[in-house]
A = this chain, B = another copy of it.
């Protein structure tokens, strides 16, 4: 049963018999006057809605968000979306030897490896002011930095998504700096590491994150711009580097209407914005295209201008044809 198909891959009509995590649980009342629960159940491969009809008060209490359950049933279609029809359901116990982490997607890199890579990039910095501010802020938020998602949805919305996104961007930056040697890698690495770090204040946690009050009223950009100023003060660092780092954070969304009160005005800030863009888009594209077969179009991806993407059906190597141009 361990080898059960991921819930995100089940097709209509298939039976289900596996452990799942309750993502959310909402009570309703059916047209016959009896209460029921609408559960969203998930594992690493996706989630599915399920109705628990005629729910008793005990059911309501038991089957709450963040609980793991053992469920059997089959997959139906309701209004064009998959729905799990429950046959049996029970809470998992210690004896089932399952834990929340088994059902939650996380970065394809271990936390220790992520930290090691970032440490290496910080080590490569030659400007001590940028290096010290960056190191100071990583240290201050290290635990959350390594476990938070990069967002609540759209891209890198999984455990450790934030730091994993940073590592991908750093690798990308290193490549680009080889091709465009005018780039100052200290500024660029520093900007990348700090650009979304304010999310550890903006968001509520590493799993099922929502926005905090400070997140809503100030946003992660302003939060981090403030923290850099504070860090510089605490470390007694003066000099243009502080303003430059703050500017890079401030401008990394690229335009006022995307949340950056100043557009990028230094070369590295412009590059940071483009690198962020590339990594986020490739993450979204890969995830959308992984769900379809060659020759098919994906569902519309809202965060990519609501586009639907095509997965080519072209063999990497085509049978040699008679060449005659």
A312 touching B261, Cβ below 8 Å: no
The reply on A274 being an interface residue by CB < 8 A is yes
Question: Nearest Cβ in chain B — how far from A320, in angstroms?
Answer: 6
The reply on A209 being an interface residue by CB < 8 A is no
User: Chain A 281-325 against B: per-residue CB contact (8 Å), 1 yes, 0 no?
Assistant: 110011001000000010000001101111111111110110111
The reply on A56 being an interface residue by CB < 8 A is no
Chain B positions within 8 Å of A250 at CB level: 217-219, 222
Query: A168–B239 Cα gap in the complex (Å)?
Result: 35
Chain B positions within 8 Å of A278 at CB level: 176, 271, 274
A175 in complex: contacting residue of B176, B184, B264, CB < 8 Å: B176
Interface core residue of A29, A255, A317 (most chain B CB under 10 Å): A29
A241 in complex: contacting residue of B33, B236, B277, B314, CB < 8 Å: B314
> Which of A63-71, A74-82, A99-107 touches B?
A74-82
The reply on A53 being an interface residue by CB < 8 A is yes
The reply on A233 being an interface residue by CB < 8 A is yes
Query: A253–B194 Cα gap in the complex (Å)?
Result: 26
Query: A168–B179 Cα gap in the complex (Å)?
Result: 8
Question: Nearest Cβ in chain B — how far from A34, in angstroms?
Answer: 10
A31 touching B29, Cβ below 8 Å: no
B128 touching A265, Cβ below 8 Å: no
The reply on A244 being an interface residue by CB < 8 A is yes
The reply on A44 being an interface residue by CB < 8 A is no
B182 touching A171, Cβ below 8 Å: no
A325 touching B77, Cβ below 8 Å: no
Q: Which 9 A-B pairs have the closest CB atoms?
A: A29-B76, A175-B175, A217-B247, A226-B229, A136-B325, A257-B257, A126-B317, A180-B282, A235-B325
Please list the residues of chain A having a beta carbon within 8 angstroms of any beta carbon in chain B.
12, 26-31, 33, 35, 51, 53, 76-80, 83, 85, 126-129, 132, 135-136, 139, 168, 171-172, 175-176, 178-180, 182, 184, 186-187, 213-214, 216-219, 221-222, 225-226, 229-230, 233-237, 239-241, 243-244, 246-247, 250, 255-267, 270-271, 274, 277-278, 281-282, 285-286, 289, 297, 304-305, 307-318, 320-321, 323-325
- Ordered by A's residue number, 30 sampled pairs between the chains whose C-beta atoms are within 8 Å are A27-B77, A28-B78, A31-B31, A126-B317, A127-B316, A128-B318, A139-B325, A175-B176, A182-B289, A187-B312, A213-B240, A213-B310, A216-B262, A216-B310, A218-B247, A219-B262, A222-B246, A229-B230, A240-B312, A240-B314, A256-B258, A256-B259, A259-B261, A261-B261, A264-B307, A266-B310, A266-B312, A267-B309, A270-B285, A271-B282
